[in-house]
């Protein structure tokens, strides 16, 4: 049986999934990128091989901010943006889905779908308010784990009013509320409400959120955020079983159409890969070119506008 590999390399986390021809998830990995996407990807591939053996890969798809890097490292057959990947996985799970709310480690997305086609979307990549990294930072500052935030929020009796339009303002307002004597549960619930209002005001302004609504991305693990969304919108938010890896599932589904895969093989986990960069001075554009090196051998380059360096691919 052939299996299909989906890879979603983000700025905060790296997700890898293995699915069968029917779209069933056979194996998955969700780990911190920690500023080293190649190492995170190799580690995931090594774990997959250890758990599943040398399974035959019929196709590979990559997405996320590091999708091009992942493409060159493992040899991808399809490279797609996050909107396409998340939409496809949600449609596969809930064919009549109309709205996708996705909140990851560093950005947020709103995707509108009508008749299984993406009709509109918006992204917030400027401010990290409401994203997983901000929530994790606040949990650490409050002395609780990220996994406990949701239970604290649900236990609140009178959520504090927190300013959520900016990470700096939100944090300073939380500190102020603590100094005023608000209890921890009410502060956490107020933070969840503020971040949901920020999302709706920035990404959903002028857009209709229609059911069924799928809530995915790492922040969907927080039941406090889910409850805030449902209170603010009056809609039910469905959290799918594989909510943190839906982007990887989406490109794995796309990879099922591959006829002859470019997958480099499981030895990619042992290769001594590194990245470097330089600026091309052959024209006024001065493009920044990224290259991947296997020991002393350059195996891929990209980042140039004209294709001079990007065409040099192993």
What DSSP string describes 143-209? TS-GGGHHHHHHT-SS------SSHHHHHHHHHHHHHHT--HHHHHHHHHHHHHHHHHHHTSTT---
> How high is the pLDDT of residue 255?
97
Residue 129 has what pLDDT? 61
* Residue 294 clears pLDDT 90, i.e. is over it: no
pLDDT higher than threshold 80 for residue 107: yes
Ranges of each domain in the chain: 3-85+249-269, 95-239, 272-314
pLDDT, residue 29, reads 96
Domain 3-85+249-269 and domain 95-239 have a common topology: yes
Using a cut of 0.75, tell me whether the model's pTM lies above it: yes
Take residue 245 and report the two structure tokens written for it.
Answer: 């890896």
Segment 174-187 mean pLDDT: 85
99-103 and 78-79 strand pairing: unpaired
Per-residue pLDDT, 121: 95
Res. 313 pLDDT band, cuts 50 70 90? low
Residue 149 neighbours by CB under 8 Å, 6+ apart: 135, 138, 139, 188, 192, 222, 224
Using DSSP, state whether 244 is helix, strand or coil. Answer: helix
| Residue 131 DSSP SS3 | coil
Written out in words, the top-level CATH class of the domain with range 95-239 is alpha beta
Q: Which of 107-116, 140-149, 294-303 has the highest mean pLDDT?
A: 107-116
Is the per-residue pLDDT at 106 higher than 60? yes
Residue pointed to by tokens 């504090």: 160
Q: What value does the mean pLDDT take over residues 239-248?
A: 95
d(CA 254, CA 23): 10
Q: Are the CB atoms for 174 and 163 separated by under 8 Å?
A: no
pLDDT at 126: 61
pLDDT-based confidence at residue 93 (cuts at 50, 70, 90):
very high
Position 274 scores a pLDDT of 79
List, in order, residues 6 or more apart from 89 with CB less than 8 Å away: 216, 242, 246, 247, 249, 250, 253
CATH code given to domain 3-85+249-269: 3.30.420.40
Mean pLDDT, residues 271-284 taken together: 85
Mean pLDDT confidence for 244-251 = 97
Confidence (pLDDT) at 111: 97
When computed from its CA atoms, the radius of gyration of the chain, rounded to whole angstroms, is 21
**Angle at CA 197, nearest 5°, toward 64 and 91?**
40
The set of long-range contacts for 34-40, using a CB threshold of 8 Å and a minimum separation of 24, is 37/9, 37/66, 37/69, 37/70, 38/69, 38/73, 38/273, 38/274, 38/275, 38/292, 40/9, 40/14
The confidence score (pLDDT) of residue 125 equals 61
Could you give the 3-state DSSP secondary structure of residue 230? helix
Reading across the β-sheet that carries 273-279, which strands appear in turn?
Answer: 273-279, 288-294, 297-302
């Amino acid at each position: 049986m052939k299996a299909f590999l989906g890879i979603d390399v983000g700025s905060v986390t790296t997700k890898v999934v293995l699915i069968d021809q029917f779209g069933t998830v056979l194996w998955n990995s969700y780990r911190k990128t920690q500023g080293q996407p190649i190492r995170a990807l190799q580690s995931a591939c090594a774990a997959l091989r250890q758990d599943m053996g040398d399974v035959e890969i019929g196709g590979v798809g990559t997405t996320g901010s590091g999708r091009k890097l992942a493409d060159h490292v493992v040899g991808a057959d399809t490279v797609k943006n996050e909107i396409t990947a998340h939409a496809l996985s949600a449609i596969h799970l809930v064919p009549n889905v109309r709205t996708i709310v996705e909140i990851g480690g560093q950005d947020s997305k709103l995707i509108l779908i009508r008749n299984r086609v993406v009709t509109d979307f918006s992204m917030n990549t400027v401010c990290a308010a409401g994203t997983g990294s901000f929530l994790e930072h606040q949990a650490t500052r409050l002395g609780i784990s990220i996994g406990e935030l949701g239970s604290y929020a649900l236990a609140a009796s009178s959520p504090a009013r927190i300013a959520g339009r900016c990470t700096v303002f939100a944090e300073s307002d939380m500190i102020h509320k603590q100094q005023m004597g608000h209890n921890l549960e009410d502060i956490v619930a107020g933070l969840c409400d503020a971040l949901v209002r920020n999302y709706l005001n920035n990404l959903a302004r002028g857009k209709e959120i229609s059911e069924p609504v799928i809530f995915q991305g790492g922040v969907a693990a927080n039941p406090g955020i889910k409850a805030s969304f449902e209170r603010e919108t009056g809609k039910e938010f469905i959290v799918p079983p594989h909510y943190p890896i839906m982007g990887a599932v989406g490109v794995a589904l796309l990879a099922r159409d591959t006829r002859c895969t470019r997958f480099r093989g499981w030895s990619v986990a042992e290769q001594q890969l590194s990245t470097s960069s330089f600026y091309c001075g052959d024209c006024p554009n001065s493009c920044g070119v990224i290259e991947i090196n296997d020991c002393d051998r350059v195996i891929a380059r990209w980042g140039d506008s004209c294709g001079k360096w990007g065409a040099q691919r192993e």
